[in-house]
Chains A and B, each alone.
Chain A
Amino acid sequence: MPALLAAALGAGVLAGCSATEPSPTPSPSATPDPDADYLQRAVAAEIALLASYDDPASSVADLSPLVAEARAHHQQHLTALIDSARAAGLPVPTTSSPTPSAVTSGAPAEPRGPQLAPAEDAVDLARRLVAIERRSSEFGRDALPTIRRPVLAVLAAQIAASEGQHATALFTALREGQIRRTSRPSPAPAATRS
């Protein structure tokens, strides 16, 4: 089994050793305080991620323990980001948008990918979550050089690292065969009678 984990390393799931560096997330507009910009985008991203984990397929037995853990972490990330904004005297990012699409469209930039389709196959969902967690992790790491406050930089780095762990755990679960397909083959078309 660890051989498969080693394959995960080769697949570049683990950060820090990839041959290509992620390109910086472009900032659509200059803001007086880059920390406020990061907080706004990070909060929007966490809300979108939480919504991604609400997909019905995430409740299947194979995925639910990993999903529960990741959801709890994202909720903690969200709380910490809002608390950090308050502590720094920065505007508290909006958290009341009712849908993920509304949240992400209101963000200055879209650090994530498109939202998940409902009732997706568990394996496909896990793969998408790996991709979303990795992009989210890259977003946080890319923001690090622009963040001014050391406390906020540490939080950003830890959130990015946590999301990298989620991606690694999901990827490993897939490689180990711990997540099985939930989709069923389409029924055969009815025979035509003459």
Chain B
Amino acid sequence: MGNWLRSALAVAAKDIRLELRSKTSLLSGTVFAALVLLIFNFARDPTGLSALDLAPSALWVTYAFASIVTLNRGFAVERENAALDGLLLAPLPRGALYLGKYFANFVFVAFIEAVTLPLFVLFFNLDLSTSWWGIMLVAILATAGFLAAGTVFSAMVIRTSFAELMLPVLLLPFMVPPLMAAAESTAHLLGGRPLSEVMGWLRFLALYDLAFVTLCGMTFSFVVDE
């Protein structure tokens, strides 16, 4: 068990180190997310829809797309010099490979979300003083949900011709339950409701995360192994 976890962490550390060298995915993901938020702000009629009404949807659509953009990078990096073969040759449990990739993806998306949140507060003129940590909790759970099936699909679509197009086609239905839960919870929290009122949604998210990470880890071998 210790070895298993160590392998997963080694894979995650390797991915994080790689990304920190080139920074391409982090930078483009952050810029993308900022632009999406900007567009939401410009595209609404300030007299028609209040900032508070639009804010949760804007935030979560942004975060969802940022996740997709980041996921696309996940296995692309293993194509150079057939690095994926190097991983598969090793006595690396495929579930550990999945978890390592998943964790690295999570770190990247968390970074993008953290950087974008102040922009969100700024653009939509919000006060997060009481609700920020509740929103952070929602963000952690929902992002974990986005990336669960996302990591599996990103490994699959690498083998297809239109990888960047295929990933959203496959993934979006899977993103809807966590997206719905996140948007609802965020709306409640932004409206000043206490965290206890969104516990149902948080439990839902936690269950979703657990169920999908487990099943995805178990089926990952069928995706990467011949």
Q: Do these two chains interact?
A: no
Instruction: Please list the residues of chain A having a beta carbon within 8 angstroms of any beta carbon in chain B.
Output: none
B interface residues (Cβ-Cβ under 8 A, vs A)? none
